Amino acid sequence: MTAGWLEGRRALVVGAGSGIGRAVVDVFLAEGARVAVLERDPDKSAAIGAALPEVPVTVGDAVTRQANDAAVTAAVEAFGGLDVLVNCVGVFDFYRSLLDLDADVLDVAFDEMFRTNVLSHLQSVKAALPHLQASGRGVVLLTESTSSYFPGRGGVLYLSSKFAVRGIVTALAHDLAPEVRVNGVAPGGTLGTDLRGLPSLGTAGSSLGDIPGRAEELASRVPLQVALTAADHAWSYVFLASDRSRGITGGVVHPDGGIGVSASPRKRS
């Protein structure tokens, strides 16, 4: 039997209860990593604990320093250190343009979006950093989006928050070298996740995964004509967490069906 790509690696996955984070947990374990998680939703956390008793689960809000410190402590106590920090936390704005946002709600919606999508990423890296530096092969993987690069697949708050995550990858890759590599994964629209909206916009109970016809819609707008799942994206995280990407920092993998080359339709004779 060949060794897994992440044999011996010790990882913390933040936002691991469903969707992309949950798929990352499964494939990291399959590739030989030991994995701890931080997740806000108590039911999703309990489900991970029941399915994967070897995984230390911390229930808490990744926006806070306290929850991230607790999750890092749990991981380090269980594994003796930490090599990889993955953050898959995120919320969505269901395509609201500035035209559709009431002025009254803008400041609260901004805070909700940026605290969850941006501050949680900074907090998790900050909490893990001493251990990632001590690892000698530390890796940070943050979840961007096609919305970190292109308009149209989210509203103005989601897009700007995802551009900010892209900025964090660039800034931290610069600041944390050579001890820690920092890269992003920028998935395209994804099937079967539970990406939620914002309380202030009345969409906290809505899930992007619930939209009817999403598979056909996703496939129809990318050159590769694929509708990708969280499990598809998880392999990009495996590559960037492994020593096979040891020369890569400040980079990004785009598992998105080729959206970057779809600007104009291909001419056919």
Positions marked catalytic:
158
CB of 89 to ligand NAD, least distance (A): 4
d(CA 217, CA 225): 10
Half-sphere exposure of 166 (CA within 13 A, CB side): 18
CA-to-CA dists, residue 108 to 102, 103, 233, angstroms: 11, 10, 31
| Residue nearest to ligand NAD according to CB distances in the complex | 19
CA-to-CA dists, residue 61 to 42, 65, 223, angstroms: 11, 9, 37
Which of 47, 74, 194, 231 touches ligand NAD by CB under 6 A? 194
Q: H or E segment at 247? A: none
What is the Cα Rg of the chain in Å? 18
CA angle 194, 195, 197 (to 5 degrees): 125
List the structure tokens of 34.
Answer: 């030991």
Asked whether position 41 contacts ligand NAD by CB under 6 A, the answer is: yes
Write the Ramachandran bin of 155: left for phi over 0, alpha for psi from -120 to 50, otherwise beta.
beta
Asked whether position 62 contacts ligand NAD by CB under 6 A, the answer is: yes
Which of 5, 10, 11, 18 touches ligand NAD by CB under 6 A? 18
Residue type, 66: Q
Nearest to 123 by CA among 79, 171, 83, 68: 68
> 10 Å Cβ neighbour count for 135?
18
List the structure tokens of 27.
Answer: 């494939």
Interacting stretch for ligand NAD, rule CB under 6 A, among 16-24, 76-84, 106-114, 171-179? Answer: 16-24
- By CB under 6 A, the residues from 210 to 269 that bind ligand NAD are 230
Interacting stretch for ligand NAD, rule CB under 6 A, among 33-41, 97-105, 169-177, 239-247? Answer: 33-41
Which of 27, 71, 89, 240 touches ligand NAD by CB under 6 A? 89
Nearest CB to ligand NAD, comparing residues 135 and 183: 183
Which of 58, 124, 183, 193 touches ligand NAD by CB under 6 A? 193
Which of 61, 105, 170, 262 touches ligand NAD by CB under 6 A? 61
Which of 10, 44, 131, 254 touches ligand NAD by CB under 6 A? 44
Asked whether position 121 contacts ligand NAD by CB under 6 A, the answer is: no
Asked whether position 15 contacts ligand NAD by CB under 6 A, the answer is: yes
Nearest CB to ligand NAD, comparing residues 76 and 208: 208
Count of residues of this chain found to bind ligand NAD when the rule CB under 6 A is applied: 30
- The end-to-end CA distance of the chain, in Å, is 49
Interacting stretch for ligand NAD, rule CB under 6 A, among 25-33, 40-48, 102-110, 131-139? Answer: 40-48
Nearest CB to ligand NAD, comparing residues 138 and 189: 189
d(CA 62, CA 64): 5
Residues making contact with ligand NAD (CB under 6 A): 15, 17-21, 38-41, 44, 61-63, 88-90, 116, 120, 143, 145, 187, 189-190, 193-196, 208, 230
